[in-house]
Amino acid sequence: MKHGAVALLIGLVALVPAGANAMSLIDFMGYSYEAGSFPPSNPGDVLSLVAGVEGLTPPLVWDPTAYEYTMHLSGLVSQGTQQPDPSNIVVNYSGGSFDLYEDSSFNAALGINPPNATVPGSYMDGTHYLGGQLNSFTIFYNTQFNSGAFEADVSFANGSHFSDLGPQTTGYTFGGVFTFGRPQGYDLQWDGQILLDPVAVEAVTWGRVKTTFQR
């Protein structure tokens, strides 16, 4: 993803970074599945996501020629669907863990109808590179455009490269956009980043949001 989201309110107004001070730490693309599918999202449904990491930024280090980097989000419990207007749906989730892995086997495979023989297992093997907790995870979905955005706060807590972060273990934003293009059994395709020190935001149109996040 070329640009990260701090927060996005889908439809008439959206929020995107207004400046260039937000640093991308992790860039990823992946797919999610939720008990009961999405939408709707019913209270108690659990969202899971697997993703391939497309970039790591210093102080993190990576060697994509020797290792595959994958990501797994788990334990996100839906609080139910809110619909502030006919075109917009908002879902808040509680809990949630973030884990990133470094693996030399390059064996990550989505398959179909997760969980399956390769998901989430092939996205959770190798060395546990970095892990943490998610807070205030929210999905914004626009029914008119059949796409949306997501955001959460991330606090890192462990992993073989946890010490690389130094004292900066909190203050990260997990955000990006999603569409409904996906393999069988998955709900959403995610394109996102984990950002450090997001800057102030400005209101823009949905058309600009789509342009901003165009790959």
Contact 156, 172 (CB under 8 A): yes
- Give CA–CA dist 187/181, Å, rounded: 8
Instruction: Band the pLDDT of 213: cuts 50, 70, 90.
Output: very low
pLDDT one-digit tens code per residue, 128-166: 999 999 999 999 999 888 899 999 999 999 999 999 999
Residue 3 lies in a domain: no
Residue 9 lies in a domain: no
Strand pairing partners for 97?
Answer: 74, 133
Residue 4 lies in a domain: no
Q: Please count the structural domains in the chain.
A: 1
Residue 131 lies in a domain: yes
Residue 140 lies in a domain: yes
- Give CA–CA dist 120/189, Å, rounded: 15
Give pLDDT, residue 21. Answer: 59
Contact 11, 144 (CB under 8 A): yes
> Where are the strands (E) in 45-187, listed by range?
46-56, 68-85, 88-94, 97-103, 127-142, 147-158, 172-179
The DSSP call for residue 164 is: G
Give pLDDT, residue 203. Answer: 38
Residue 129 lies in a domain: yes
Strand pairing partners for 90?
Answer: 82, 140
Residue 156 lies in a domain: yes
Residues 6+ apart with CB under 8 A from 6: 15, 16, 17, 22, 151, 173, 175, 195, 198, 199, 201
How much of the chain exceeds pLDDT 70, in percent? 81
Residue 98 lies in a domain: yes
Instruction: Band the pLDDT of 197: cuts 50, 70, 90.
Output: low
Domain encompassing residue 52: 14-212
